[in-house]
Amino acid sequence: MVELSESTKQDIMQFQTMQQQLQIITYQMQQIAAQEKEIEKAIENVKKSNKGQMFRFVGSVIVPKDKDELLNELEEERKSLSDRKVLFEKQELKLKDKANELKKKLEEIEKTL
C-alpha cells in the first residue's frame, strides 16, 4: 500500500470539500429558480387582477397591499433573486475551475503511484 504525502492528503480533502460546496451551490440555485417561478406567477396573477387592493402574507400575518405597491415589492424580490443567482453562478464557476485544476493535479499524482 502506497503512503500518500500530507500535501496530497490535504489536496484530496480540499477537493472533497469543493465537491460538497458545489452541491450546496447547486441546491441553492435550484431554490432560487423555484422562488423565481413563484414570483413570476404571483406577478402574472397580480397584473391580471382588476382589484385595487390585494393581500399578502408577511410572516404568518395577511397584510392588505395596494396592487401597484405589491407589484413593486414582487419586482424588487425578483431583482434580488436575480442578483443572488448571478453571485452563485460566479461562485460556481470559480469553484469548478479550482476543482478541475485540483482534479488534474490529483490525477497526475495518481499516475505516479
How does pLDDT run across 5-43, given as a tens digit for each residue?
999 999 999 999 999 999 999 999 999 999 999 999 999
Instruction: Specify the pLDDT at position 113.
Output: 79
pTM of the shown model: 0.81
C-beta neighbour count of 29 within 10 angstroms: 16
For residue 59, give the DSSP letter: T
Q: Is the pLDDT of residue 2 over 80?
A: no
30: cell is 435550484
Using 50, 70 and 90 to split pLDDT, how confident is the model at 107? very high
- DSSP states of 62-86: EEEEEHHHHHHHHHHHHHHHHHHHH
Helices (H) and strands (E) in the chain, counts: 2, 2
Who has greater pLDDT, 75 or 112? 75
Could you read off the pLDDT of 48-106 as tens digits, one per residue?
998 888 999 889 999 999 999 999 999 999 999 999 999 999 999 999 999 999 999 99
Question: In the structure grid, which three cell numbers stand for residue 41, read together?
Answer: 406567477
